[in-house]
């Protein structure tokens, strides 16, 4: 599947990078903003190679790899259309000016005044990015989560059309079979079929937010319900697993945009990990988790959260006796930061996050909150 971004030409994209990476790092360290400082052991340069990601490259230079849009001088409008770089380019660390650049420090080009960053607008034509473009994050770990309904929110589940039978009366159906569906199609013709699974409840409130879903395949509409009939006719066009009566349908989503640019959420977020994909209790780097916050809370694609183990309440060994002289007083231990979470798909009240870096395993109930 191709990647798309609203850039006029590849040459324009390269020019945008050349302008943007020259922005001084000090601009990101203003009061009230995240301090995006350089690593003390940052190299003088990095040669971009195939397999690099913008996150990895930035981690070579920055204490916080997700800060690269700030280093490159991108504002909140521009982060929706990220700049791309390609293998073979060299990124230089200009120590004298505290900035990154695509021009070597001390060269004539580096000393020339930098033009103002170009603004990209929706009027520019859309074209496919080259296959060799360096992505923001490694796409392999999240590919299935972009197009398959592995988490379905409660409101979607309640209103989803459902399979009610087949033309030949089979209990289970596969590719090529015709099935009957009942429910409001809302004008869509292509659907994904899923089977509701485990409930996802808010660890803080206990409220039911969503269900995990087993992705079964796709169906296409053959004929809508005719007068005197309650069901639509569909054909199964692909099948990962057998489908049966009661399985639900969701309209197939549009092709996802894979232009991920990390940034702090616009609002202060205090979330909890709800589940780890594949039903395990702990998660490490490059594993996918769900959190109990979504777009209604201020999360969007590219939001970065920091992971903390929730501090426990334990007895104070030095404290005085508790109520009526029994027991000991207690104390709340601080939350301990241990990693970073990158939000790559956000729904109303639930989001998918990719664990980018952890020093310890993450587990359900851990805190995910806005960067300090």
- 259 close to 82: Cβ distance less than 8 angstroms: yes
Q: Quick check: helix, strand or coil at residue 82?
A: coil
At residue 343, the pLDDT reads 92
CATH fold for the domain made of 270-369: Elongation Factor Tu (Ef-tu); domain 3 (2.40.30)
Mean pLDDT of 3-29: 34
Confidence tier at 304 by pLDDT (50, 70, 90) = very high
Residue appearing with tokens 């169906």: 219
At residue 220, the pLDDT reads 96
Instruction: Give the CB-side neighbour count of residue 27, counting CA atoms within 13 A.
Output: 17
Q: Among the residues of 263-351, which ranges form H helices?
A: none
Mean pLDDT of 231-238: 96
Q: How far apart are CA 82 and CA 308, in angstroms?
A: 29
Q: How far apart are CA 298 and CA 160, in angstroms?
A: 26
At residue 129, the pLDDT reads 45
65-79, 143-157, 160-174: range with lowest mean pLDDT? 65-79
Mean pLDDT of 41-70: 85
**The pLDDT of residue 332 is above 90:** no
Q: Which residue has the higher pLDDT, 247 or 62?
A: 247
Full-model pTM = 0.68
Q: Which of these, 63, 61, 78, 76, lies nearest to 117 by C-alpha position?
A: 78
User: 304 φ, ψ to 5°?
Assistant: -115, 130
When the pLDDT of each residue in the chain is averaged and rounded to a whole number, the result is 77
16-25, 123-132, 151-160, 204-213: range with lowest mean pLDDT? 16-25
**The pLDDT of residue 305 is above 80:** yes
Judged on CB neighbours under 10 Å (0-12, 13-18, 19+), 24 is: middle
At residue 190, the pLDDT reads 95
Domain boundaries defined on the chain:
4-128, 144-251, 270-369
Joined tokens for residue 243: 């489908």
Mean pLDDT of 12-28: 36
Q: How far apart are CA 368 and CA 82, in angstroms?
A: 25
45-54, 66-75, 212-221, 288-297: range with lowest mean pLDDT? 66-75
At residue 219, the pLDDT reads 96
């Amino acid at each position: 599947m191709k990647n798309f971004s609203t850039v006029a030409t590849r040459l324009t994209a390269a020019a945008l990078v050349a302008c943007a990476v020259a922005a001084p790092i000090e601009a990101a360290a203003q009061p009230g903003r995240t301090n995006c400082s350089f690593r003390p052991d940052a190299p003088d340069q990095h040669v971009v190679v195939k397999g690099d990601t913008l996150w990895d490259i930035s981690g070579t230079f920055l204490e916080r790899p997700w800060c690269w849009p700030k280093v490159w001088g991108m504002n909140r409008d521009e982060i929706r259309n990220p700049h791309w770089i390609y293998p073979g380019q060299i990124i230089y660390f200009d120590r004298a000016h505290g900035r990154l650049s695509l021009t070597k420090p001390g060269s004539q080009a580096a000393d020339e005044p930098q033009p103002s960053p170009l603004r990209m607008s929706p009027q520019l034509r859309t074209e496919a990015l080259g296959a060799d473009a360096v992505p923001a994050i490694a796409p392999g770990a999240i590919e299935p989560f972009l197009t398959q309904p592995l988490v379905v929110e409660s409101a979607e589940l309640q209103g989803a059309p459902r399979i009610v039978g087949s033309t030949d009366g089979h209990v289970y159906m596969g590719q090529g079979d015709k099935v009957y569906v009942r429910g409001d199609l809302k004008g869509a013709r292509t659907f994904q079929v899923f089977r509701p699974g485990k409930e996802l409840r808010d660890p803080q409130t206990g409220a039911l937010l969503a269900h995990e879903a087993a992705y079964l395949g796709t169906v296409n509409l053959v004929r809508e319900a005719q007068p005197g009939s309650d069901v639509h006719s569909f054909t199964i066009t692909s099948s990962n697993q057998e489908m049966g009566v009661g399985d639900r349908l969701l309209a197939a989503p549009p092709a996802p945009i894979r232009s991920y640019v990390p940034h702090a959420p616009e609002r202060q977020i205090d979330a909890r990990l709800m589940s780890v994909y594949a039903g395990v209790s702990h998660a490490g780097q490059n594993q996918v988790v769900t959190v109990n916050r979504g777009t209604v809370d201020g999360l969007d694609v590219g939001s970065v959260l920091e992971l903390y183990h929730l501090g426990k309440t334990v007895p104070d060994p030095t404290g005085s006796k508790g109520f009526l002289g029994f027991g000991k007083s207690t104390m709340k231990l601080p939350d301990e930061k241990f990693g970073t979470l990158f939000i790559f798909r956000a729904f109303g009240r639930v989001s998918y996050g990719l664990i980018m870096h952890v020093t310890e395993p993450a587990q359900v109930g851990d805190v995910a909150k806005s960067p300090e």
